[in-house]
Amino acid sequence: MWDVWLSMLWLPAVTVADELKIFDALNVRPASAEQLAADLGLNPRAVSIVLPLLAALGFLVVREGTYGVSETSRNFLLHEGPFYWGHVFAVRPRQQPMHLALKNALLKRDANPVPQSSDRPPVEAWESGQLDVERARFIAAFMHSHSMPAAVGVALHGKMGALSRLLDVGGGSGCFSIALAKVHPHLRCTVMDLPAMCEVAQGYISKAGMSDRVDTRSVDMFRQRWPEGYDGILMSNIFHDWSFETCAQLAARAFDVLPPGGRICVHELLLNDDGVSPVTAAAFSVLMLLGTRGQQFTYAQLRKMLEQAGFSEISVTSTYGYYSLVQGVKR
């Protein structure tokens, strides 16, 4: 399901790279993402997220952070090449909304571009601290659909059985708290989110029959102090919404309120150590480019963030599909 859903980004990544002559530039001079952005006047963050997807798809090769064109691109994606496919792309693909959105992100001068439209991306709600109930219902339904299977994976394989009280930061519909409480009868969970989302989550919790062990707490994670009294903090699909600097702040907030021996649990769809594969994680990172301030991470990147916040004994566990749970302990 994840492969099919995120394949919607494959063609736009190629057509936009073709239109902006990324393949031509890298054929002349292989470059890092930062160098290419400077050469073509593109947004550095956007370039650093799009190039890994092109490499994962086989259109670029990367060695020690330097990107060059693959044989496929050399044959079919150079404007002066004998088998150039760009005229096919010009008929319909360049008119599609996803192509236009990705092109806009690459051309933006903002450090962290987020599309401006009447349909505000969810990240803006958390950034502003303003979320109405109608919008919360829509976001919760979307997230519950794609996260419930992963939530069961965390509950079954995440090695979280030693925890007794869990704070589910940005917990949305409460699907992770619900799944964890069902698998671990001794565990009590609190979904921490904005007031409107907590109201919506109560419905999911009640429907699941877990109101006795899963509750909610209305807290703005950026503007209010997080509650204490929890030996575990879960952040699932939270870090990928934000910049490295903001993620570092979130990790520090978690460290601040956890007791000695407390555990942070960061659940994300990880990129491999190469920062490029698998293709679905690379595509998900491009989706984050189009709607958030963040991207997908490697385990090494998350480990560094947690260590800098003060956590130790960092570990990673594969939980479900492409997802993994990265944990650290406060000593």
> Which residues belong to the active site?
240
* Alpha carbon separation from 228 to 69, 165, 225, 255, 257 (Å, rounded): 51, 10, 9, 11, 5
Strands (E), 111-242: 165-169, 188-193, 214-218, 232-236
Helix (H, G, I), strand (E, B) or coil at 70: coil
Q: How far apart are CA 151 and CA 109, in angstroms?
A: 37
Please provide the size of the chain in residues: 331
Q: How far apart are CA 181 and CA 178, in angstroms?
A: 5
Phi and psi at residue 79, to the nearest 5°:
-60, -30
Q: How far apart are CA 178 and CA 160, in angstroms?
A: 14
Helix (H, G, I), strand (E, B) or coil at 329: strand
Q: Which amino acid is at 260?
A: P
State the helix-helix crossing angle for 44-56 and 97-107, rounded to 10 degrees.
Answer: 130
Phi and psi at residue 253, to the nearest 5°:
-65, -40
Q: How far apart are CA 146 and CA 2, in angstroms?
A: 9
Q: Which pairing describes strands 323-329 and 263-269: parallel, antiparallel, or unpaired? A: antiparallel
DSSP string, 7-19: GGGHHHHHHHHHH
Q: How far apart are CA 59 and CA 54, in angstroms?
A: 5
Residue with structure tokens 């290419």? 36
Q: How far apart are CA 178 and CA 279, in angstroms?
A: 30
